[in-house]
Structure 1
Amino acid sequence: MERPTRIGVQLAPQHAPMQATIDAARRLEDMGVDAVFGWDHFFPLSGDPEGVHFESTTQLAAWAVATERVQIGPLVFCNSYRNPDLLADVARTIDHISGGRFVFGIGSGWFERDYIDYGYDFGTVGTRLDALAEALPRIRARWDQLNPPPLGRMPILIGGKGERKTLPLVARHGDIWHSFVGPDELSQKLDVLRGHCEAIGRDVAEIEISNGASVRDGIGGVGFERLDALHAAGTRLLTIPLSGDDGPDGYALDRVPAFLEWRDRKNG
């Protein structure tokens, strides 16, 4: 059966008051998006570096209360910021608040300012990936031990594109693989992922391929050529990034309907 094409929106928790993020999540659900994602940082990644910003886990819990149907989750949790067993419990709790709509997105971390200001060891790309590899089995084991456990199978989304360390983790643990690679590179990465899956006896078709859309796609006459190419290469979840300072009224939700129309055309 053909996997459906889906559209997510990442509401960056920056440059907007908390209620604006909650209202935006509700409006996106009403518009018909498939998933609303946050991110896991402590400071803005664009605009004023000292601007308004909120913590991920508690914000996601607020979105879980405010919505009823849309999937929610982080894009992505940073493995370095919390004990893996605690993070598993946090995710399980938000999953229950949401009624089983939580997507557990996780990655190894990269934003050095977060680490320095909050007192975490930044390490290296390799040590952070090794820590993620150690954490994922602990997280899954903790879910099995918790009372009550998550509501059903909580999808694990893993972000990154490294062929030697990240893609083997996706093959072993991931239900969704998220990256920002372009259409030309994606086919080669999927071949590598397929090889890692075959090595452990898993069908790569079990993994949903996710990628970051751009607000430039479909706007200003650019069209959806890049998204069409990503879709042709196998991508089925495309997520639009929005920031709280995208427009005079905050999140530029008016950009979203064109993507939903594109999705509906792909789904026939």
Structure 2
Amino acid sequence: MTRQVRIAVQLQPQHADYSQIRDAVARAEEAGADIIFNWDHFFPLTGEPDGKHFECWTMLGAWAEQTSRVEIGALVTCNSYRNPELLADMARTVDHISGGRLVLGIGAGWFERDYDEYGYEFGTAGSRLADLSQALPRIEERWARLNPAPTRDIPVLVGGGGERKTLRYVAEHADIWHSFADLETLQRKSEVLAQHCADVGRDPAEIERSVAVRGSPRDVGDALVAAGATLFTVSAGGPDYDLSQLREWVAWRDAR
């Protein structure tokens, strides 16, 4: 399966007024991004810990109306914050609002302050992964029962690199696997993912490899493509949302 190289940007919903986030979304779509992501937290992850911050899914509904071409999604939704059936319905709704442009990015969760201040049980890494393993089939089952149904088979992106559990969930449920891996780690974990796919009877080529990138595509882009990655995500933070790195990666994509 030959995939087109795609470029995404994660607009961190922190330290900015919403008008600045809205402007960044417009600029990112105009710049040629294939996907625009936010993240699913309740407080900033960097900088002033009590700085400005906005909620993920309410924002995705607004992005669905604001944009016309790009795919949108969270990188990634925390499974712990919403009942799986509710999350499936939210995703289906944003899928319809956007005309079929939602990517459901999902992970087990990790930011303890979110849990403590919003009253969720933090548990352990193991318990959060176990919850994710139960949620993924429930989301799929709810999509099959909703009226109206989603406009398409909503792509599921699973984030993380745990070799024993997370990559197994990727093999079982994901259309996209997202990692923060360098080249060597990506190659090793892709081999682990391929074994999980063999165990569950799935072609690993069905799963798109996504990586978070920094710096210039001239340094790492071609090598990551050779290793199987085709979706590359840069990030931009508020309040200014400098998209120069996004434009550089888009230019590299277009020159290929």
TM-score calculated relative to the size of structure 2 = 0.98
Q: After superposition, where does 1:21-170 map in structure 2 within 5 Å?
A: 21-170=21-170
| Alignment match, 1:243 | 237
Q: Do residues 256 (structure 1) and 250 (structure 2) align?
A: no
| Pairs within 5 Å for 1:198-237 | 198-214=198-214, 217-218=215-216, 224-237=218-231
Q: Which amino acid aligns with 1:262?
A: W
In structure 1, distance between residues paired with 2:166 and 2:246: 30
**Cα distance in 1 between the residues matched to 2:121 and 2:51:** 24
Q: Give 1:199 deviation, angstroms.
A: 1.2
SS state at 1:104 partner: strand
Determine the C-alpha separation between the residues in 1 that align with 2:247 and 2:162: 33
State the percentage of identical aligned residues: 56
Task: Report the AA paired with residue 253 of structure 1.
Answer: L
The CA deviation at 1:265 is 2.5
Provide the rounded CA distance (Å) in 2 between the counterparts of 1:94 and 1:73: 9
Structure 1 segments of 4+ aligned residues over 2 angstroms from their partners: 226-229
Q: Give the gaps of 5 or more residues in structure 2.
A: none
Q: For the residues of structure 2 that align with 1:108 and 1:135, how far apart are their CA atoms?
A: 10
Query: Take 1:44 and 1:60, find their aligned partners in 2: how far apart are those partners?
Result: 18
Letter aligned with residue 63 of structure 2: W
RMSD of aligned residue pairs (Cα, Å): 1.0
1:23-55 CA-partner distances (Å, limit 9, x unpaired): 211221111110000000000011111110000
Segment drifting more, 19-28 vs 199-208:
19-28
Which amino acid counterpart does residue 238 of structure 1 have in structure 2? F
Give the counterpart letter for 2:230 in structure 1: R
Q: In the comparison of the two structures, how many residue pairs are matched? A: 256
State the shift of 1:133 in Å. 0.1
Q: Secondary structure at the match of 1:89?
A: helix
Deviation of the 1:88 alpha carbon: 0.5
Q: Distance in 2 between matches of 1:257 and 1:183?
A: 22
Unaligned segments of structure 1, at least 5 residues: none
**CA distance in 2 between partners of 1:206 and 1:120 (Å):** 34
TM-score normalised by structure 1 residue count: 0.93
1:231 & 1:14 partners in 2: Cα distance?
Answer: 31
Secondary structure of 1:224's counterpart equals helix
Instruction: Tell me if structure 1 keeps the 8 A contact 2:106–2:158.
Output: yes
Q: Secondary structure at the match of 2:102?
A: coil
Instruction: Give the distance between the partners of 2:198 and 2:183, measured in 1 at CA.
Output: 23
Equivalence map 1:173-212=2 (5 Å): 173-212=173-212
Give the structure 1 partner of residue 10 of structure 2: 10
Query: SS of 1:148's equivalent?
Result: coil
